[in-house]
Amino acid sequence: MLDPDNGLSLTIARIVQRLKGSSLHSQLERQARISLHKPEIKLESLKEDIKDFLKTSGWEKKLQNAVYSELNVFPSPCHPAAPPEHMKEPLAYMRKAQGSWEKRILKSLNSMCTELSIPLAQKRPVSEQKELLNKWNEMGTDEPDLSLFRPVYAPKDFLEVLTNLRNPNYENGEQPSFRSHLGLIQVPLKVKDIPELKEDFSELGLNIGQLGIDDSAQVPPEFFENEHVRVGQKVLAEQDSAAAQQYVRQGCPTALRADLWALILNISNQPEDILYYEQLKSNVIQHDLLVDSLIYKDVKLTASNDDYYFVFEDYLYQVLLCFSRDTSVLEHFTYSSATPPKSYIRGKLGMEEYAVFYPPNVAPLCFLYHEPSKLYQMFREMYVRFFFRLHSISSHPSGIVSLCLLFETLLQTHLPQLFYHLREIGAQPLRISFKWMVRAFSGYLATDQLLLLWDRILGYNSLEILAVLAAAVFAFRAVNLMEVTSLAAAEAVLADLSTLKVMPLLQIFLFATVT
Amino acid sequence: FRIMAGKVKWVTDIEKSVLINNFEKRGWIQVTENEDWNFYWMSVQTIRNVFSVETGYRLSDDQIVNHFPNHYELTRKDLMVKNIKRYRKELEKEGSPLAEKDENGKYIYLDFVPVTFMLPADYNLFVEEFRKNPSSTWIMKPCGKAQGKGIFLINKLSQIKKWSRDSKTSSFVSQSSKEAYVISLYINNPLLIGGKKFDLRLYVLVSTYRPLRCYMYKLGFCRFCTVKYTPSTSELDNMFVHLTNVAIQKHGDDYNHIHGGKWTVSNLRLYLESTRGKEVTNKLFDEIHWIIVQSLKAVAPVMNNDKHCFECYGYDIIIDDKLKPWLIEVNASPSLTSSTANDRILKYNLINDTLNIAVPNGEIPDCKWNKSPPKEVLGNYEVLYDEEMAQSDGPDRDLRSRSGQSTGVKGNRARDSGKPVLTTWK
């Protein structure tokens, strides 16, 4: 067992190490130096005076936010003697599974390259570079021939891999009984039950005001909405990350959401951030990656056909193409079990490595941010904090494996008849809900509902709510689902989620269902 | 009172499923125009015939039609502008605070139509205005056409001269009012979303002009251009950049048949609230309601308020990048063609709610009824303005609320004028 004091000092040491040399660090130093000119700074009490100055000028708050951000992102340290892979992912069989999965993806990519005689990466000829630069804001109108490109993998493939995960040290026993888990996921990870979830998500309780419920047209705004907006404005004025995170658990007013999310994720859009984005953009212009075509095809198939997101098609290309070249994203590998992949773009192109990501969810963010570099940063931060866990195999409670298991367990425990019925007709519930969770419901819910859901992801710093919502949806449609007799019919019942109101569903499932 | 004498007999010139399905679901009976009919969904040609001196005939008490006889006072581009200009001058003459002008001589509350001239009648006035801003762009629109037909942009006087020369030498001469054009200052700074230009289509139902009673359909939509907007002069000829009409856009390479380039108004609201804030968004929507009501008030005095008539208009509105809404035009026969599945549902429901208001209980109508439907039948319509109710709340309220621009309250001037709360759309 780790001595608690030891743990704390380890954490402090790690955070100090990470913040040292960051731009915040140099800004603080600069501010401290500037303050020396101020009359209130006296030589005899130099340290105290500078500290006071940093406090009153708001810089201490920024430092607090940065520390808070680091705490949120990184797992607590374990034993000092643990090797780095163990820090990333403590379970060996999970590491192994993620490794094989990555190998499989890369193999698929490589064979696509060979088949189509296209290199993984190449430098663009100058004329093409010029053309792309001109077209940068309207790549949506391009019509390249993408028919030969297949997606590297579909959610179904990923689900197959997860279904086949086994812990070699765990003996399942001969006979499945009513106590055994009847779902697709067969690894013994610990997931929460409803009493624990009720405690974790206590702010969603029935007697607490929520946006998404208590701001509907029938409720006079004096009851909750007006006060909530006022508090939100105050939180923004104080620029306090931790307070913001607590606040959004009850939902963000639409007008405040963009700023609140940026505050929680500690995004400030400094000049160096804009510069970084421009640099990524020039990388895109100069080099053509095979992954680009895959991204292009995916966006064309999804967002450009979507009622809400088609307007932002061009932004999506810009963000995703830059994202696939962002090596700083690889940093997140230090706390995920996914190791930097073995495929490199050979040194002469000047790019070290990149990874293949399942094209993630940019589109909803376009409703909040229309300035490209800010949009990019928000998206990247959301990805490295949360969404990457949906695409890699790990034992983390917010990892896709845990979410799937949580979903199945909730359903089997609280709607056993429904679960059994669906299983009997060959419609394992996870087969339907997997695609919702892996995309964090983007593309399935109405945008305003999706944003309310993502408010809570940020507020609780966890993706578990996705599994709870998935179970709540099944509970909501339980009556219809009990009558279907095939997987196709079950899919049909659950095909259209665009009219669902997320918060009432969650509240009822967690707090108003007899357990 | 009458006993149920039978089912409503209907006729239509417009063979669209969204109409016919609605008639049939009410159990109404289709007849021809020569038979006894109760409800006739007419084309604009037919309404002209019905009320014309030579071919017209009197409608009986149990007959209802879907156009006002002289709807063109609102729906022809030149007459709409003429009526609004007249209305403003009248208000100015009576010293109404609504007609207040700013230091540049622009109306503060009533400047919602871009500067417009009739051609060829006001040609010289236009040239004078053009010379004041020689770098401006103007849009030429034929008065009698729809769906973007015949529209083009100019930015040089020589282009007009060429056009007028061409039209004189060809067989159609600009004498007949059908070939009259209007030329308006082109709004070259439209609000862009995702870099694309869009306009708003809103449906407004008028059941009577005097007293004015009108309803706004909550489910309007935005129509996006498929091509990125650019004010560049090299693209002035590219109608895919400038004209949002679906009839034009759907021939573009990038037209998408699933969403049809349309967004709901609630999406627009969400986007604007998220990126611009709630107050400015509320103000924008309040202004949109305002300009619709003002346009109706402007034509109310000249409208033939025939009691057999109601009308559902399609309002086209453009928002500029300062979040100011502009009234572009009003359509008497908004398209009932559906370009996507969602579209079909929307238009079906639009007609359904319209019929519920115009033909109460789906029974044989009596045009003498008071045209005051109960709240329950409004469906997706909301009362936009009810003159009777506004007057019963006191005549002064109407004017007093105008002078306070953004009062900081959900400053809904229409609300202050006594009609039921038309709050921000949820």
Residue B401 has pLDDT above 60, yes or no: no
Instruction: Report chain A's mean pLDDT, rounded to a whole number.
Output: 81
* Sign, CA torsion A265/A270/A274/A279: negative
Residue A44: pLDDT band by 50, 70, 90 thresholds?
confident
Contact assignment for A368 to B253 by CB distance below 8 Å: no
> Of A140, A216, A255, which has the smallest distance from its Cβ to B274's Cβ?
A255
Q: For the beta carbon of residue A173, count every other beta carbon within 10 angstroms.
A: 9
Q: Which residues of A362-399 are buried (b: 16+ CB within 10 A; e: fewer)?
A: bbbbbbbbbebbbbbbbbbbbbbbbbbbbbbbbbbbbb
> What is the pLDDT at residue A39?
81
A129 in Cβ contact with A286 (< 8 Å) = yes
Q: Name the residue with tokens 């409800």.
A: B39
Banded pLDDT at A81 (limits 50, 70, 90): low
Sheet containing strand B138-142, strands side by side: B116-119, B181-185, B138-142, B152-154
Contact at 8 Å (CB) between B303 and B345? Answer: no
How confident is the model over A419-441, as a mean pLDDT? 93
Which of A311, A313, A316, A371 should we substitute to test contact with B (largest number of B Cβ atoms within 10 Å)? Answer: A311
Q: Which two tokens stand for residue B24?
A: 């049939």
Between B23 and A105, residue with greater pLDDT: B23
Q: Which of B254, B259, B274 sits opposite A258 (nearest CB)?
A: B274
Task: Tell which of A143, A304, A307, A313 to mutate to test the B interface (max B CBs under 10 Å).
Answer: A307
> For residue range A359-405, what is the model confidence (pLDDT) as tens digits?
456 778 888 888 888 888 888 888 888 888 888 888 899 999 999 99
Tokens matching residue B331:
């359509």
Taking only the tens place, the pLDDT of each residue in A311-332 is 888 888 888 888 877 776 665 5
Amino acid code (one letter) for B187 = I
d(CA B114, CA B327): 8
Q: What DSSP character marks residue A498?
A: T
Q: How many CB atoms lie within 10 A of CB B400?
A: 12
How many whole angstroms separate alpha carbon B152 and alpha carbon B149? 9
Chain A residues whose CB is inside 8 A of the B270 CB are 254, 367, 447-448
pLDDT digit string (tens) for B138-195?
Answer: 888 888 777 778 888 888 888 877 766 665 544 434 444 446 788 899 888 999 998 8
Q: Residue B199 carries which DSSP code? A: E
Phi, psi of B142 (to 5 degrees): -70, 140
CA of residue B3 relative to chain centroid, distance = 38
Facing residue for B274 by CB, picked from A254, A305, A310? A254
Percent of chain A topping pLDDT 90: 28
Q: For A253, which residue in chain B has the nearest alpha carbon?
A: B274
What pLDDT is stored for residue B323 in this prediction?
Answer: 94
pLDDT for the residue A391: 83
Which of B224, B228, B270 shows the shortest C-beta gap to A367? B270
The SS3 of residue B308 is coil
Flag whether pLDDT at A1 surpasses 60.
no
Q: What is the pLDDT of residue B33?
A: 86
The CATH topology of domain B191-395 is D-amino Acid Aminotransferase; Chain A, domain 1 (3.30.470)
Closest chain A CA to residue B280:
A255
Poorest-pLDDT segment among A84-98, A336-350, A443-457, B42-56: A336-350
Cβ separation of A311 and B196 shorter than 8 Å? yes
* B291-298: average pLDDT: 96
Tokens of A260: 């609140």
pTM: 0.81
Q: What does the block give as tokens for A87?
A: 């820090």
Give the closest residue to B118 by CA, choosing from B86, B79, B157, B170.
Answer: B79
Classified as helix, coil or strand, A312 is helix
Q: What is the full DSSP assignment across B89-142? A: HHHHHTT-GGG-B-TTS-BSSS--S--EEEETTTHHHHHHHHHHSTT--EEEEE
Instruction: Classify the C-alpha dihedral A497-A502-A506-A512 as positive or negative.
Output: negative
What confidence category does residue A302 fall into, taking pLDDT thresholds of 50, 70 and 90? Answer: confident
Cα–Cα nearest to B90, from B103, B79, B99:
B99
Kind of pairing, strands B212-217 and B221-228?
Answer: unpaired
For chain A, the C-alpha Rg in angstroms (whole number) is 24
Cβ atoms of B266 and B425 closer than 8 Å: yes
B274 with A308: Cβ contact below 8 A: no
Structural element, H or E, at residue A411: helix A400-414
Distance CA B425, CA B382 (A): 10
Listed by start position, the domains of chain B span 9-72, 76-111, 115-156+179-186, 191-395
Q: What is the pLDDT of residue B52?
A: 85
DSSP state, residue B382 = E
A369: chain B residues, CB-CB within 8 Å: 275
Rounded to whole angstroms, the Cα distance separating A89 from A87 reads: 6
For residue B12, CA distances in Å to A37, A290, B29, B64, B355 come to 84, 57, 11, 12, 14
Q: B162 CB near a chain A CB, below 8 Å?
A: no
Q: Is B267 on the interface with A (CB under 8 A)?
A: yes
DSSP single-letter state for residue A270 = -
Confidence at B258, pLDDT banded by 50, 70, 90: low
**B399: distance to nearest CA of chain A, Å?**
28
pLDDT band at A432 (very low <50, low <70, confident <90, very high): very high
DSSP letter, residue A149: P
Is the per-residue pLDDT at B315 higher than 90? yes
Question: What's residue B253's pLDDT?
Answer: 63
- The enclosing H or E element of A410 equals helix A400-414
DSSP A174-222: SS--TTS--SS--S------HHHHHHHTGGGSTTS--TTTTTSTTS-TT
Size of interface A-B (CB pairs under 8 A): 68
